[in-house]
Structures are given as structure tokens and as C-alpha cells.
Amino acid sequence: MLDDLLGRSELKERIAELEAERDRLEERFEAERERRREAVRDRQGAEERENRLENRISDLEGRLDRTDEEPGLDFRGVETLRGERLREVLSRLDSLRTSEEGVLTAMVDDDVPEEVEAAFGERAPLVSRASPCLAVADDAGLVSVALRAPLAPDPFSTWSDSVDLEFGWFLPEGEFAFALVRSDLFAMGEYRGHERVAFRAFESDVKGDHSKGGFSQGRFERRRDDQIAEHLGKCREAIAEAGPERLIVVGQRTLLKEFDADATRAVDATGDPEDALEEALGDFFTSRLYRL
């Protein structure tokens, strides 16, 4: 009653209205700021994709030019190797013996060394197409192949009386940890060669995609990013507890950079963690054989 007489009730209502309006303006401001952040991220992402596409186009144009210059040049055959078939092919190469400096072995990355070009002659452009690869050729022209190595060494080139290769570049050998990481799943096996001696896996509750826009989407995405960051922290802790001397991490491409690993690769293994891990392991230790 006293508030009404003094006009305070009306003032309180007006204050409440102004506070509500202020809150609405703050939400609109935050939503607009988030939209601008998203626009910046989208623009940066678009620029990165454009740069990648330009690089890819340049690479393909270069390959097209080489193809135009040497019409009809193609692989004599291509085969995917894994398991015992891969071991058999490696054993054949490993058994090759020649006279002194009769066979060239070269790990080729981006650029084909002159020594490799000279050894393969007119077939040298195929080495570039197969790269990164381990290229092997003998001076009698009996052997001319390239293989993709899952655990490729640094580039090198050497002539010897035998092929300079290690089975561990292609097959699981020695002790190592192999981890599969997705934004909501972690699975890791510790191995001695092909034998798995330990296994650990867990899943995290990470929100899925958000279908709405505006302020609520911004809050949702920040929450999801926090959940993924927490999940990755648990993954790194699990790896640190295992303390492997060698670590291979596969899984979701955008997450691989978060791990200090000896080798990484994007894979699409899904399903039960243990089955997904074994599927990813088989995919990783798969090689491509190019007959040049």
C-alpha cells in the first residue's frame, strides 16, 4: 500500500521491465558476437579448404602434364597386401641377392631423387605417382616395384647386393601401443608383434550435433568442445599410464594432432571398441604394391 502511495510499485515494475530488456539485449549481443565468431571460423575454414584445393589442383595438373608427356605409361599392376600375403612378398624381396651394388632401394617421399630417376628410366614418373613409397629396382631389370610402408622411414637411396628393407616398416613387430581415438571413444591395445597383451577402452558422454542456430547453438557447441577436450585429456592420461616406447594413433582425423605419436592415420573403424581396434590395426598395417 505504501509503495503504491509513493509510486514505488510503478518504479519497481519499470525497473523489472528495463532489466528484462537489458537481458534480452545482452542475449542478442552475445548471439550476434557468436555469429561473428562463427563467420570468422567459417571464412578461415573456407580459406584453408581453398588452399588445399589449389594445392591439390596444382598436383593433379602436374601429374596430368606428366601423363600427357608420356602417353600410355601406367602401372603393370596394383595389389593391396596385408597379413601373410604381405609377409610373403616382403620375404621374396628380402631374399633377392645380386652382385655388389646390383639393386637400388629408395624411400621416396615428395621428390624423386635423380639416382632413382636414372634407375627406373622412363618408368620413373610412376615412382612419383606411387609415392610416398619404398621403390626397388635391380640393374638387370628383373625387379621394378614400389610399396607403401605404413611406418615409413626417412627418405633414403642406396645401392647394395640386397634389398634394404625392414619388416617392421610394414608389419607389427616389437612392442608398441596402438590407440583408436574418436570424439566419444578410446580403445588401446599394447602389442608384442601380432600378440595383444593388454587392452583398455572407454567411452565418453559427448553431445551430438545441434540442429538449431543462434545463441543456444553457441552454448551447445562450447559445451561439446569442452566435453571433447575432457575426453582427449582422459585419452592422453591412459596413454601416459601405459608408457609405450612406440605409439601409433589412428581414428578421427581432426583429433590426431592432439597426440604425440610415432605414426598417425585417419581411419573409419566403428562399432564395438575391441572389434573397431582390431579392424583399425588391420587397416593400418596394409600396404599397396605397385608393379612399375
Q: Which pLDDT score, from 0 to 100, does residue 211 have?
A: 46
Instruction: Give the residue, 43 or 240, on which the prediction is more confident.
Output: 240
129 close to 292: Cβ distance less than 8 angstroms? no
Band of pLDDT at residue 268, cut at 50, 70 and 90: confident
What average pLDDT is seen over the chain?
85
Lowest mean pLDDT among 88-97, 130-139, 208-217: 208-217
Lowest mean pLDDT among 9-18, 73-82, 115-124, 193-202: 9-18
Calpha distance 234→245 (Å, rounded): 19
Instruction: Give the residue, 224 or 97, on which the prediction is more confident.
Output: 97
Half-sphere exposure of 248 (CA within 13 A, CB side): 26
**The model's pTM:** 0.70
Q: Which pLDDT score, from 0 to 100, does residue 70 have?
A: 54
Per-residue pLDDT averaged across 182-187, rounded? 91
- Statement: residue 110 has pLDDT above 90: no
Percent of the chain at pLDDT > 70 equals 78
Q: Which pLDDT score, from 0 to 100, does residue 216 have?
A: 60
Q: Which pLDDT score, from 0 to 100, does residue 215 have?
A: 46
Q: Which pLDDT score, from 0 to 100, does residue 64 have?
A: 61
Percent of the chain at pLDDT > 90 equals 62
Which of 260, 245, 256, 244 has its CA nearest to residue 284?
256
Instruction: Give the residue, 53 or 13, on which the prediction is more confident.
Output: 13
Calpha distance 126→181 (Å, rounded): 34
Q: Which pLDDT score, from 0 to 100, does residue 84 have?
A: 95
- Statement: residue 13 has pLDDT above 70: yes
Region of 132 (left: φ > 0; alpha: ψ -120 to 50; beta: rest) is: beta
Q: Which pLDDT score, from 0 to 100, does residue 18 have?
A: 80
Per-residue pLDDT averaged across 79-92, rounded? 96
Band of pLDDT at residue 292, cut at 50, 70 and 90: very high
For residue 238 the three cell numbers come to 591412459
Strands in 156-160's sheet, in edge-to-edge order, are: 77-82, 286-291, 144-147, 133-138, 103-108, 156-160
pLDDT per position as a tens digit, 150-169? 999 999 999 999 999 999 99
Calpha distance 145→89 (Å, rounded): 11
Q: Which pLDDT score, from 0 to 100, does residue 63 have?
A: 59
- Statement: residue 25 has pLDDT above 90: no
Per-residue pLDDT averaged across 62-69, rounded? 57
Which of 129, 136, 143, 58 has its CA nearest to residue 104?
136
Q: Which residues pair with 288 in a beta bridge?
A: 80
